[in-house]
A and B are shown apart, each in its own frame.
Chain A
Amino acid sequence: MEIFGLLADGFLIAFEPLNIGLVIFGAAVGLFIGAMPGLGSVNGVAILLPLTFLVPPTSAVIFLGAIYYGAMYGGAISSIMLGIPGASTAVATTFDGRPLAMQGKADQALIGAAVASFVGGTISVILFTLFAPPLADVALAFGPPEEFALMLLAFATFVGLGGDDIPKTFFSILIGLVLSAVGLDIISGEPRLIFMDVPGFFHGINFLVLAIGIYGIGEMLWTIEVSRGNVTMSEATVTVRRTVDALKRMAKSWKTMVMGSVLGYFVGILPAAGATPGSLMAYGVAKSMAKDGDSFGKGNIDGVLAPESANNAASTGSMLPMLTLGIPGSPTTAILLGGMVMWGLEPGPLLFVDHTEFVWGLIASLYAANFFALLINIAFIPAFIAVLKLPFTILAPVIFGLCVVGGYVPTQDLHDVWLMLIFGVVGYLMRKLDYPLAPAVLAIVLGPIAEPAMRQSLIGSQGDLLIFFNRPISGTIMAISIILILMPLYKHLPFGRKKEAVE
């Protein structure tokens, strides 16, 4: 098997001293970020990306991948101890994690979450290893029309599956794409959308400016507003004996974890879905699978295991389309993708041909990150609980400082820091009105890839839009995208609504 040889080489890269050090450090940082209420993997990756210029690109991506993983583990900690999800991906963990903690079984829930995360991570990385190379092979045959069709599919999933207000979802996608068009026109080289003739717009709007604005500044403003109330913290007693008992109890729930992992992985592949809906779905399925379904919500350990295995599996799942097709499966991978483009590691099928070592090094590092996140998590449960006691008024200014410096560093232009502040404040105000913001971040990353793909296709076809439809692969993808886009619109049409009323 060729895959095993490549994977073995990947492990050699992942275990280089610098890389393995970054995996361990990244997992710990991710756990910390995930444990903080309000901060999740996407915030961590957006805010810390500028710091990774210190190391070579491969190591930087490995580090960010480890943060992504660690944050998925860490999210459970505040869900269980405070009853506040540490990240949106850990919402489902509060349903049973919190009642367990109230019953004095916080340690069981925490260990359960850690082990389930490990199972979810491991199963999904194995699935990833098996699926990625064939998918990349297929994708090698893609031309500009297929590329554009894929981008459209990514956006269509937000409309069809996102579940947010439809016009607002469209708006978010479009504004992200327009912002990505600022700067020099890629094909003719002419300046465009230079607002008020401010010279800072000539270099375009870096995706990090929007990402840090929304996920750094905007998220902090949101947390400041929401976290005014007092929170009560549960107590956790961790002893070796109780740990062993918890593990014995969990062995009986292996089915739940396998279900959560597989479900989470496939849901994670879809750009609009990802870890949050994946974990909610896994919770729902676990509840209907269980004989004692009524005990869910009152402190059933399976209610912790299912979403926690699913959210870790989803984070790996979202990397599959990012690496093989160049379309991110989640906001976090969108930022990773933007970073990779910046470092010259253009994601897509060619990555598997031109940068084999990078791809397999990253995959192997995911195995390692998973293992270390489990170890660190279980060994330092008390330390992460202490993190929750850290006052927000200390953490917030530090994060704001990181945002400002991080927004400055990529382009070394203060203009971008101002833009970041504006995006943060406007993003926060829009979020309060139910505008989804993830599509905008995805759009600003994909815009510079989607626009030339569309224009090159149209040049090739002499302006005939049918080029997107009469090639078999691109045609199929376009058809799925259009169905996804029309699905919610159908409900808005007069006859669509009448039907509902009749039913």
Chain B
Amino acid sequence: MRIAELMMALVMSVFSIYLMWKSTELPIGWIPEEGPGGGAFPFWLSVGMLLCCVAILFNWVRRSSPPSRSEEAYMDREAVYLVGVVVVSLTAMIGAIPFIGVYFALPLFMAFYMRFLGRHSWRLISGFVVLTPIVTFMFFEIALRKTLPKGYTEPLFYPLYDIFM
């Protein structure tokens, strides 16, 4: 936990400095007749972020915040495994959306999650896999008229567009 606290504060300090540098792309000073420049607001806020990180690091050295005292593991092995599997599968799903579209990526993700982490029966899973795209399509594309990305599977939807749109 102690190491994680240090790492987070360091990463965030670097991020604050990056933000400060990025803000200076716009004027951060006072422009006559116009008021503060466009970069001023984010610049001073990032300075504040950096100061907060310094304070967090200071507390870390003094061991005055609970996470900087804790000798407990930041995440135990099981937590790393569970959260890791979920994050990786989410990443894979979002990464797959531009290619196979929401209507295939989403059911695949759900099937994987329910089977691999939940050990549910294939019968239950297939129910979800079939219903999810239908409900999603009806709600978002037909009722809300918001097109979801379909990637290479777009042609499969032409007949549906003809009926509903």
Question: Known contacts A224-B83, A405-B140, A434-B67: does B49 contact A175 (CB below 8 Å)?
Answer: yes
Main secondary structure of the interface of A (DSSP, over half): helix
Q: Which of A221, A398, A459 contacts B34 (CB 8 A)?
A: A459
CB of A391 within 8 A of CB of B120, answer: yes
Report, as a range, how many residues of chain B touch the other chain. 35 or more
- Is A217 part of the binding interface, using a Cβ–Cβ cutoff of 8 Å? yes
Q: Bound state CA distance, A456 and B34, in angstroms?
A: 9
Q: Which residues of B contact A456 (CB under 8 A)?
A: 35
Q: Which residue of B lies closest to A196 (CB)?
A: B22
CB of A178 within 8 A of CB of B66, answer: no
Interface locus among A38-46, A339-347, A417-425 = A417-425
Q: Bound state CA distance, A240 and B79, in angstroms?
A: 45
Q: Bound state CA distance, A224 and B149, in angstroms?
A: 29
Q: Bound state CA distance, A166 and B45, in angstroms?
A: 16
Q: Which residues of A contact B74 (CB under 8 A)?
A: 432
- Is A54 part of the binding interface, using a Cβ–Cβ cutoff of 8 Å? yes
Q: Which of B39, B94, B98 contacts A404 (CB 8 A)?
A: B94
Q: Which of A193, A217, A430 contacts B22 (CB 8 A)?
A: A193
Question: Known contacts A171-B56, A394-B114, A400-B90: does B49 contact A433 (CB below 8 Å)?
Answer: no
Report, as a range, how many residues of chain A touch the other chain. 35 or more
* Interchain nearest-CB distance for B4 vs A (Å): 6
- Is A131 part of the binding interface, using a Cβ–Cβ cutoff of 8 Å? no
* Interchain nearest-CB distance for B55 vs A (Å): 4
Query: Which chain A residues numbered 396 to 429 have a C-beta less than 8 Å away from chain B?
Result: 396-398, 400-401, 404-405, 408-409, 412, 414, 417-418, 421, 425, 428-429
Q: Which A residues contact B (CB, under 8 angstroms)?
A: 51, 53-54, 165-168, 170-171, 174-175, 177-178, 181, 185, 187-188, 190, 192-193, 195, 217, 220-221, 224-225, 228, 391, 393-394, 396-398, 400-401, 404-405, 408-409, 412, 414, 417-418, 421, 425, 428-430, 432-435, 451, 454-456, 458-459, 463
**22 A-B contact pairs sorted by A residue (CB < 8 Å):** A53-B144, A53-B146, A167-B56, A171-B52, A177-B45, A193-B22, A193-B42, A225-B75, A225-B83, A228-B79, A394-B118, A394-B124, A401-B110, A405-B106, A405-B148, A408-B102, A409-B148, A417-B97, A421-B87, A433-B4, A433-B5, A455-B35
